[in-house]
Amino acid sequence: MTPSKPVRTAFYVSGSTAITAETLGRSMLTQFSEYNFRQVTLPYLQNPAQIEAAVLRIKLAAEEDGSRPIVFSTLTDPLLLKELRRSEALVLDLFDAFLVPLEREIGQPPTLKSGQSHAVRDLNSYRIRADAVHFAMQNDDGARTTYYDQADLIVIGVSRSGKTPTCLYMAMQYGLYMANYPLTEEDFDDLRLPKSLLPHQHKLFALTIGADRLEEIRQQRRGGSRYASRQQCDMEVRAFGALISRFQIPSLEVTEYSIEEISSRILAKTGLRRRLF
Amino acid sequence: MTPSKPVRTAFYVSGSTAITAETLGRSMLTQFSEYNFRQVTLPYLQNPAQIEAAVLRIKLAAEEDGSRPIVFSTLTDPLLLKELRRSEALVLDLFDAFLVPLEREIGQPPTLKSGQSHAVRDLNSYRIRADAVHFAMQNDDGARTTYYDQADLIVIGVSRSGKTPTCLYMAMQYGLYMANYPLTEEDFDDLRLPKSLLPHQHKLFALTIGADRLEEIRQQRRGGSRYASRQQCDMEVRAFGALISRFQIPSLEVTEYSIEEISSRILAKTGLRRRLF
């Protein structure tokens, strides 16, 4: 939080996980830089007493902040939503805004069941996800290279370029079989690919990162070490760049990106088909 | 997909990752059971030529399905959005619907920068996430118990109850330090907790699962084995239930839930404070 800005509270209110309300609300709030938004998630509100308690919390936040809170809601029960609208807040209900045009288009009333999108544990997608997460864990950090024939993609990069979180995110969200392999100093000596990667060149995808950022991340991890030194980071970044250019390995420059953005860009660049939606 | 239902296409259109459009769109579509929705994500659309290509894809889908596609958009560029609205579809723009009331409330125009919510790679939250994911991987499946003093929560359950994906999801989304420990037949002999868990009883959280579902999951994994047999699943489920009841370990019955819902329910039940938003 930037201390100089006034604080305003945003509530995410839902009859279920509140993931949808959070995702949209956060997107919206990043469009307004005037406030520091304090974010409060209130999931699983399913009866009038729970709504009443939420309305009270909203009122207290309004008093504390000196401004109306902003409430992003995905309540599907019209009575609960009506109660919520009594609160001293700007209440933006996502279903309210979109269900009416959708109903008109589709010609069928909505089921109004709460939280369908994150609640359904369909056995097949559960298995796809669990298997993909398992694969990512077993094939993390070059630990094992014998299953690379089953991998959808093998992510390569220098240490601390974001390979592990990217692979796990892509496994979890897309159900893809993601392996990753770290390239280290020794691999750069002769500008060759490690032997275990050679048979899988077509599956390689490189994460590149600026030396500045790499140094920053490594200093946080092992401050003052040779590993984290500017010279070492410079060398690895340069050598890795030469290697992927030599072998024409597709790559993404990740310095400015979050894990979500890295993952969705890799998906778009490679054209891999996700197994989960 | 249910083969008997007509197919209709939903597009998620964005200048950035399209994660927000996907999340909200999916929530909406689960409210309508009349169609099988084919979902197409079109991320990173940033110029008129890309929008034109999207409009063409939408047109082709309309012809193929014999009905207008539904387009969920988070385009922030008014000109691109105007182009998109020319397509033969119901175009629902999320920013359009909510930015106007928000602007009025906040008294400041939106920045209209695309994809702020998933794009910003803030070094601090990047580190929190990477460290939490690292912790979850190192402390998966009882592999190591020496770091349990650093854990926020230690998830216990029988094999295949969903511990690993839950811990990774909570690490990734909430930045929490999640360990997990599988309880097996040997642990049930005398209704005691394994020694390594004893000093951390207050951090334990149990996932319980119905024997039916457990059998189904294990059969997919190791069909016909004793491990997957109904008798074995029944025994483990019963013994695990007795153990957590004896030690009064808080628990969640996960049979019907997705990983997202398990995670958000654990967060709500334990009152743990997330480190990431």
- Which CATH number is A30's domain given? 3.40.50
Position A214 in a domain: yes
Q: Between chain A and chain B, how many beta carbons pairs sit less than 8 Å apart?
A: 226
Span A128-138, pLDDT tens digits: 999 999 999 99
Q: Tell me the C-alpha distance between B124 and B35, whole Å.
A: 43
Work out the percent of chain B whose per-residue pLDDT is above 90. 78
Name every chain A residue with its beta carbon within 8 A of the beta carbon of B119: 256-258, 261
Do residues B110 and B137 both lie within one domain? Answer: no
Name every chain A residue with its beta carbon within 8 A of the beta carbon of B165: 129-130, 133, 172
Residues sharing a CB contact under 8 Å with residue A21, sequence separation 6 or more, in sequence order: A12, A13, A14, A41, A72, A73, A74, A94
The answer to whether A157 is a known ligand-binding residue is yes
Query: Is A126's CB within 8 Å of B217's CB?
Result: yes
Q: Tell me the C-alpha distance between B101 and A49, whole Å.
A: 28
Confidence at residue A114, expressed as pLDDT on a 0 to 100 scale = 62
Asked whether the predicted pLDDT for residue B277 surpasses 90, the reply is no
Q: What is the domain extent for residue A32?
A: 7-119
Position B212 in a domain: yes
**What does the block give as tokens for B184?**
């097996």
Do residues B82 and B198 both lie within one domain? Answer: no
- Which residue reads 């401004």 in tokens? A67
The answer to whether B166 is a known ligand-binding residue is no
**What does the block give as tokens for A73?**
């809601």
Position A27 in a domain: yes
Sheet hosting strand A90-93, strand order edge to edge: A36-42, A7-13, A70-73, A90-93
Span A83-130, pLDDT tens digits: 999 999 999 998 888 988 999 999 888 887 765 555 455 778 888 999
pLDDT band at B10 (very low <50, low <70, confident <90, very high): very high
Span A5-26, pLDDT tens digits: 899 999 999 999 999 999 999 9
Which residue numbers in chain A have pLDDT < 70?
1-3, 114-121
Position B277 in a domain: no
Q: Tell me the C-alpha distance between B185 and B234, whole Å.
A: 12
Q: Tell me the C-alpha distance between A41 and A49, whole Å.
A: 17
Do residues A83 and A130 both lie within one domain? Answer: no
Out of A88, A103, A119, pick the residue that ends a domain.
A119
Q: How far is B78 from chain A (nearest CA, A)?
A: 14
Q: Tell me the C-alpha distance between A148 and A151, whole Å.
A: 5
Do residues B40 and B111 both lie within one domain? Answer: yes
The answer to whether B161 is a known ligand-binding residue is yes
The interface predicted TM-score (ipTM) is 0.87
Of B24, B258, B277, the CB nearest to A118: B258
The answer to whether B158 is a known ligand-binding residue is yes
Out of B75, B101, B119, pick the residue that ends a domain.
B119
Position A275 in a domain: no
Position B132 in a domain: yes
pLDDT band at B117 (very low <50, low <70, confident <90, very high): low
Query: Is B98's CB within 8 Å of A257's CB?
Result: no
Find the residue in A nearest to B166 (Cα). Answer: A130
pLDDT band at B154 (very low <50, low <70, confident <90, very high): very high
Q: Which of A33, A45, A127, A261 best tests the B interface by mutation, with the highest count of B CBs <10 A? A: A261
Confidence at residue B115, expressed as pLDDT on a 0 to 100 scale = 57
Asked whether the predicted pLDDT for residue B270 surpasses 80, the reply is yes
Name every chain A residue with its beta carbon within 8 A of the beta carbon of B217: 123, 126-127
Q: How many CA atoms lie within 13 A of A53 on its CB side?
A: 8
Beta strands in B89-128 (DSSP E): 90-93
Name every chain A residue with its beta carbon within 8 A of the beta carbon of B218: none
Do residues A171 and A246 both lie within one domain? Answer: yes
What is the three-class DSSP state of A159?
A: coil
| Number of folded domains that form chain A | 2
Confidence at residue B113, expressed as pLDDT on a 0 to 100 scale = 72
CA-wise closest residue to A96 among A86, A108, A110: A110
pLDDT band at B95 (very low <50, low <70, confident <90, very high): confident
Do residues A35 and A160 both lie within one domain? Answer: no
What b/e readout covers A179-208, taking b as 16+ CB neighbours within 10 angstroms?
Answer: bbbbbeeebbeeeebeeebeebeebbbbbb
pLDDT band at B4 (very low <50, low <70, confident <90, very high): confident
Do residues A91 and A223 both lie within one domain? Answer: no
Do residues A86 and A187 both lie within one domain? Answer: no
Out of A90, A119, A148, pick the residue that ends a domain.
A119
Position A147 in a domain: yes
CA-wise closest residue to A87 among A109, A121, A105, A63: A63
Do residues B18 and B100 both lie within one domain? Answer: yes
Of A26, A107, A117, the CB nearest to B27: A117
Q: Which of B116, B173, B252, B261 best tests the A interface by mutation, with the highest count of A CBs <10 A? A: B261
pLDDT band at B2 (very low <50, low <70, confident <90, very high): low
Find the residue in B nearest to A38 (Cα). Answer: B277
Position A173 in a domain: yes
Of B105, B110, B265, the CB nearest to A31: B110
